[in-house]
């Protein structure tokens, strides 16, 4: 299928992990892709995302260095999509996790996580929506939250706060941008095998830990970046033409079953 044929997709945090898989899945579905990230070299692979797309897909692709907390950098990122006809799909995926017990969470840690996870998502959506409204061609925005945006977790108060904010932000935009033909949805990944889960959050530090997480999941495995990417492609595509403001868990049933 060519679910995103002719579309231009911008992905933040697209150098690594879930963002890289989203870029790949979008390219496989016929989109051109602009990858924004603070780093071009991936945290978890040899080749850059743009090299991967150029080598293995027919997509046009380019990288733009972009810290999503920097409004001007986000504007430049989204403007780079003009080379491919302008942004049709904005995926606000960049996010960080800094674990700490609540009583030991510093103001710096709280600010850092809110800046990247909330302000970065806000800036990305705003920059994309401005251009979509100007072009009057509609569009789709997909925000990447987390199961931690739907339920609590220990050592993750700031992360849960930041990811929970994305749910209400997404709902607000669905109301405000729907009349402009812009659909805004969010995905809520469970435990996905990326550098964030392996190194940052210590959820999957080794095979034993992964087996324990998998055993608790109704589908008896942890998630892969491609699992999330497929859900994002669906929400970005015309298949989801009447889907707006949705909360789509991509977690093997982890949240629904209380995990």
Ligand X SMILES: NC(=O)c1ccc[n+]([C@@H]2O[C@H](COP(=O)([O-])OP(=O)(O)OC[C@H]3O[C@@H](n4cnc5c(N)ncnc54)[C@H](O)[C@@H]3O)[C@@H](O)[C@H]2O)c1
Left if phi > 0, otherwise alpha if psi is -120 to 50, otherwise beta: which for 250? beta
Tokens matching residue 102: 């609540």
Cα three-residue angle 111-113-93, rounded to 5 degrees: 145
Q: Contacts with ligand X: how many residues (CB under 6 A)?
A: 32
Q: Is 159 a catalytic residue?
A: yes
Binding of ligand X at residue 252 (CB under 6 A)?
no
> Quick one: which segment of 7-15, 25-33, 52-60, 231-239 binds ligand X (CB under 6 A)?
7-15
Binding of ligand X at residue 15 (CB under 6 A)?
yes
Residue 71, burial from CB neighbour count under 10 angstroms (0-12, 13-18, 19+): middle
Helix (H) or strand (E) holding 94: none
Q: Catalytic residue among 16, 146, 163, 237, which?
A: 163
Among 30, 43, 180, 224, binds ligand X (CB under 6 A): 43
Binding of ligand X at residue 232 (CB under 6 A)?
no
**How crowded is the C-beta side of 170, counted as CA atoms within 13 Å?**
30
Nearer to ligand X, 139 or 190 (CB): 190
Min dist. Cβ of residue 68 to ligand X (A): 4
Binding of ligand X at residue 13 (CB under 6 A)?
yes
- Helices 17-28 and 225-236 cross at an angle (nearest 10°) of 50
Give residues in contact with ligand X (CB under 6 A). 12-13, 15-19, 37-39, 43-44, 66-69, 93-97, 116, 120, 144, 146, 189, 191-192, 194-197
Residues designated as active site = 145, 159, 163
């Amino acid at each position: 299928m060519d679910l995103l044929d002719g579309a231009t997709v911008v992905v933040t945090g697209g150098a690594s992990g879930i963002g890289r898989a989203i870029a790949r899945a979008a390219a496989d579905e016929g989109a051109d892709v602009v990858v924004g990230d603070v780093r071009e070299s991936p945290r978890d692979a040899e080749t850059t995302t743009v090299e991967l797309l150029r080598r293995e897909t027919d997509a046009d692709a380019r990288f733009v260095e972009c810290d999503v907390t920097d409004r001007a950098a986000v504007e430049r990122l989204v403007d780079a999509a003009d080379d491919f006809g302008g942004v049709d799909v904005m995926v606000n995926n960049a996010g960080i996790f800094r674990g700490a017990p609540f009583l030991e969470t510093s103001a710096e840690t709280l600010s850092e996580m809110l800046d990247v996870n909330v302000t970065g998502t806000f800036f990305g959506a705003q920059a994309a929506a401005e251009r979509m409204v100007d072009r009057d061609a509609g569009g789709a925005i997909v925000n990447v939250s987390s199961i931690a945006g739907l339920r609590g977790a220990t050592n993750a108060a700031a992360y849960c706060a930041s990811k929970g904010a994305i749910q209400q932000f997404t709902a607000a935009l669905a109301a405000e941008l729907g009349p402009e033909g812009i659909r805004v949805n969010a995905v809520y990944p469970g435990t996905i095998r990326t550098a964030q889960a392996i190194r940052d959050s210590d959820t999957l530090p080794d095979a034993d830990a992964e087996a324990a997480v998998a055993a608790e999941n109704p589908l008896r495995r942890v998630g892969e970046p491609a699992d999330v990417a497929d859900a994002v492609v669906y929400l970005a595509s015309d298949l989801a033409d009447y889907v707006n403001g949705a909360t789509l868990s991509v977690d093997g049933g982890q949240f629904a079953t209380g995990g």
